[in-house]
Structure 1
Amino acid sequence: MVCRTILWSFVYLTLLQFDAHRAEKCEEMTDLDLKHSLTGTSLNVRLLFYTRANASCAQLLSHREPFNNSQFNLSSPTTFLIHGYRPTGSPPIWLSDFVKFLLNRRDMNVIVVDWNRGATNINYWKVVDNTRKVAANLTDLIQKMEHNGADLSSIHMIGVSLGAHISGFTGANFNGKIGRITALDPAGPEFNGRPPSERLDPSDALFVEALHTDMDALGYRELLGHIDYYANGGADQPGCPKTIFSGSQYFKCDHQRSVFLYMSSVNGSCPIIAYPCDSYTKFLDGKCMDCGRFQSAGCPVFGYDAINWKDTLVQLNQTRTYFQTNKETPFCKFGYKVDIVTWNQKTHWGYLTIKLSNGQKETQVELNHKYLMFERFVKSSLLALFDTDIQSVKEITLKFCTGKGLRPRKKLRLLSIRLTPLQNSLRPLCRYDLLLEENKDVTFRPIPCEDSNF
């Protein structure tokens, strides 16, 4: 009798351990390879579910009975994370960090939409066809959520490349009542030039934002949202390879940069100001630093916190914005409006280099995207974007050059120069009566500005 009791106890404990192990099983995104891409894959949508309680261990959400999972809180906001085309079949390298950043930012349900079987196919056109089917799958799930009490306005869909259009198709099925769609370099091929019903558009959600980082290749070129961000002009990204000899990074670096930029905004480490502007050239020329139409709210920020400008952006319908970034995190740059008045008898043309130093750190920018014109007693306003933020600037160094080495060196006589920080409330930096000789550094200490001169 005692032996039988011991035996049953052992069996019972073993079963408990087995159930516990089974309950703790972590689901992972489908991992395929080039072989699957060559043979093609049939669509299969898996929903990987995360909360703060299981931030590093995904649970598989049932399509039929998704709310049997006790951790799914219908009163909490839900974010869908939707990848794009996977020509090699591998899971995205950014996936786990993206989920972690979202859950660190806010208590929510995160659903990673794993449609790797269906996105892995050398036949891109077949994958494009699957986007409608994925959207239908998500529509069915969200209908169940709404039926069980979820608020559509609390749903945020983040779509990468083809995932952006999947988000749009899903949102359109709810007549734009979904709260927010974030499109990260939405796919261009097969979508460029299409009518709104065949791609993402502002009517697909209460708030639609789109980030463009590869519009000259894999991304979409024109406006798609209430606000569209064109990072570094929307095409070539700093630090990305310029030639095909760099391998696969040449094809995907610009496109993928959109994800890392948005992740940085979720992480909240370094805010980026987005400047409304008609073109990148005007932005670089410093003609778009005034965000007056946003009134007291000021210029919108890029990324996760752009929701704070939602009401204004929706009223403005579609806003095109630009910003520059560094080549790696922290991506944000620090802007100054530079106002210069010269008093040369003749108009001078050339480039400027500006260096800021606080005695321990320094940062430099070359204003050389175009020839700058300096006309007597006419204020020239320029935009200078520095890689790092130098607080308590003690010294400024200027260098003027014309790029014409065979001609006699010219001198640029500055009546005044003023550097006004764009991101914070620090006081402007000024200096008066300077002489810049071509190709020579001139270093000076800034002094309080005489506002009456500007």
Structure 2
Amino acid sequence: MLKVYILMSLMCLVRADGDESCATFTRLSFHSAVVGTGLDVRLMLHTKRHPACAQIINSTAFGDFNVTKRTTFVIHGFRPTGSAPVWMGDLVEGLLSVEDMNVVVVDWNRGATTVIYPHASGKTRKVAMVLKEFIDQMLAKGASLGNIYMIGVSLGAHVSGFVGEMYAGQLGRITGLDPAGPLFNEKPPEDRLDPSDAQFVDVIHSDTDALGYKEPLGNIDFYPNGGLDQPGCPKTIFGGMQYFKCDHQRSVYLFLASLREDCAVIAYPCNSYRDYRNGKCINCGTAQTEPCPLVGYYADRWKDYLRGKGHPTTKAFFDTAEQKPFCIYHYFVDIISWNKNVRRGSITIKLRDKDGNITESKIDHEPATFEKYHQVSLLARFNQDLSEVAEVSLMFSTGSVVGPKYKLRVIRMKLRSLAYPDRPQLCRYDLVLMENVETIFRPIPCPRLQL
């Protein structure tokens, strides 16, 4: 058995078409981070034929690189411990699963590995120069700038921007995954990623209050959960290293989620996260309105709309679940009340299907105001999609722990899906919600004509 194991291990290190060993990402120790590393940029080619076996390429040795195919460069950022990015393999595999392309991992771990962040950020332009040298040779062999896509993470986002600037914004696309904020905040466009660096620039901001860049940097800028604390990430320092990097890395995992067939992450153009949460911007995606932009790999489907409408930049907001693949399913809960006095409070809604699956949404980010004969439209967010809702429960709460308990009298409740607007809308009439008491009922299809 030992001989078999050794043989299998050796086979994993050899490319299928020859004796050349598979290249691996540079792995350094924390000692290297303490003493610092000089810059050394390695370009590692992954193809559909050899997705897990990288080949070292450079401006004089192209290997299996095919200039007729799309080329996606993946550029990491600051590496304070010297380790390889844990997400790199999944990202390469995901990209090759959706398109037959050249995926080039830009390994500049020697240079990015240091405990002194300014030393790493100071090398970003040099990394960009190495990439320009390679791209120049790509072009000489018949490649086109419009067929080049750069995905830059943290400092890698600004590296992408510097490359794009060198080619006067003619690169096909740049995706910035939580571009680094420290030492780049408030810098002029030529010193950071900006919308003019490619034909289309999309950015996901997931840690704007710490390691990421807060202000818009692209043609469309996505702010998951407002761009601040991400669900499922540690809230205190007792979470260890995850406390420092989880929010920052979430942008990468949201991009990875977009490569799955079962998770289309939809965002909503809006001026602010508060307006989005209050349901003021959930009007895209219908026949009469603009399409809703998709987050991640397919975000470029929205670029033609941006050009047609003349929007130079757009902010878009969305919420996520705590765990992979992070998808959230949005519904509007429309409530018309008939209390004599105004009631202020929150609503918790649960949905159950015929198989007993239950999903819940607590709409409590700010109190809703219920006035007599006035419709309130609340944005509910569910982690699970139930295609056929058999039962609904509502609970009203003022948030008060002392004092009298109130009732919310409801003339009509209507539930409508935003993710699937063609689904039948569900209604219920004449409900009395006792405060902090769950009221369960079976909904009925709403009539076509509504009040």
TM-score over 0.5 for the pair: yes
What's the counterpart of residue 144 of structure 1?
137
The Cα shift of 1:267 comes to 2.5
Calculate percent identity across the aligned residue pairs.
50
Report the Cα distance in structure 2 between the residues aligned to 1:289 and 1:28, rounded to whole angstroms.
45
Aligned partner of 1:225 among 196, 218, 230? 218
**Residues 135-144 or 289-298, more deviating:** 289-298
- Kindly indicate whether residue 203 of structure 2 is the aligned counterpart of residue 210 of structure 1: yes
What's the counterpart of residue 319 of structure 2?
324
Report the Cα distance in structure 2 between the residues aligned to 1:225 and 1:59, rounded to whole angstroms.
32
Report the Cα distance in structure 1 between the residues aligned to 2:353 and 2:405, rounded to whole angstroms.
30
Structure 2: unaligned runs, 5 residues or longer: 1-13
What's the counterpart of residue 439 of structure 2?
442
Report the Cα distance in structure 2 between the residues aligned to 1:221 and 1:245, rounded to whole angstroms.
26
Structure 2 CA distance for partners of 1:294 and 1:20, relative to 1, 3 Å: closer
What's the counterpart of residue 3 of structure 2?
none
- Structure in which a larger fraction of residues adopt helix: 1
Instruction: Provide the alpha-carbon RMSD of the alignment.
Output: 1.7
In 2, are the aligned partners of 1:273 and 1:302 still within 8 Å (CA)?
Answer: yes
What's the counterpart of residue 430 of structure 1?
427
Aligned partner of 1:248 among 241, 248, 251? 241
Q: Look at both structures and tell me which one has the larger radius of gyration over its CA atoms.
A: 1
The Cα shift of 1:113 comes to 0.1
- Kindly indicate whether residue 39 of structure 2 is the aligned counterpart of residue 46 of structure 1: no
Report the Cα distance in structure 2 between the residues aligned to 1:39 and 1:180, rounded to whole angstroms.
36
Q: What is the SS of the residue equivalent to 1:320? A: strand
Structure 2 CA distance for partners of 1:296 and 1:279, relative to 1, 3 Å: closer
Instruction: Provide Cα deviations, 1:59-114, integer angstroms capped at 9, x if missing partner.
Output: 00023x133x1x21110000000000000000001111110111011000000000
What's the counterpart of residue 181 of structure 2?
188
Structure 2 CA distance for partners of 1:339 and 1:103, relative to 1, 3 Å: same
Structure 1: unaligned runs, 5 residues or longer: 1-17
The Cα shift of 1:372 comes to 1.1
Q: What is the SS of the residue equivalent to 1:203? A: helix
Aligned partner of 2:118 among 121, 125, 129? 125
What's the counterpart of residue 328 of structure 2?
333
In 1, are the aligned partners of 2:15 and 2:53 still within 8 Å (CA)?
Answer: no
TM-score normalised by length of structure 2:
0.93
In 1, are the aligned partners of 2:15 and 2:21 still within 8 Å (CA)?
Answer: no
TM-score normalised by length of structure 1:
0.93
**Residues 105-114 or 352-361, more deviating:** 352-361
Counterpart residue identity of residue 183, structure 2? E
The Cα shift of 1:453 comes to 2.7
How does 1:238-387 map onto structure 2 within 5 Å? 238-291=231-284, 298-314=291-307, 315-359=310-354, 360-387=356-383
Report the Cα distance in structure 1 between the residues aligned to 2:131 and 2:352, rounded to whole angstroms.
53
Counterpart residue identity of residue 344, structure 1? N
Report the Cα distance in structure 1 between the residues aligned to 2:215 and 2:349, rounded to whole angstroms.
34
Instruction: Provide Cα deviations, 1:121-151, integer angstroms capped at 9, x if missing partner.
Output: 1121111110000011111111111121101
What's the counterpart of residue 81 of structure 1?
74
In 2, are the aligned partners of 1:274 and 1:300 still within 8 Å (CA)?
Answer: yes
**Residues 443-452 or 328-337, more deviating:** 443-452
In 1, are the aligned partners of 2:291 and 2:302 still within 8 Å (CA)?
Answer: no
**Residues 199-208 or 120-129, more deviating:** 120-129
In 1, are the aligned partners of 2:283 and 2:289 still within 8 Å (CA)?
Answer: no
What's the counterpart of residue 90 of structure 2?
97
Report the Cα distance in structure 2 between the residues aligned to 1:293 and 1:384, rounded to whole angstroms.
19
Report the Cα distance in structure 2 between the residues aligned to 1:443 and 1:19, rounded to whole angstroms.
61
- Kindly indicate whether residue 105 of structure 2 is the aligned counterpart of residue 134 of structure 1: no
In 2, are the aligned partners of 1:297 and 1:309 still within 8 Å (CA)?
Answer: no
Counterpart residue identity of residue 407, structure 1? G
Counterpart residue identity of residue 381, structure 1? S
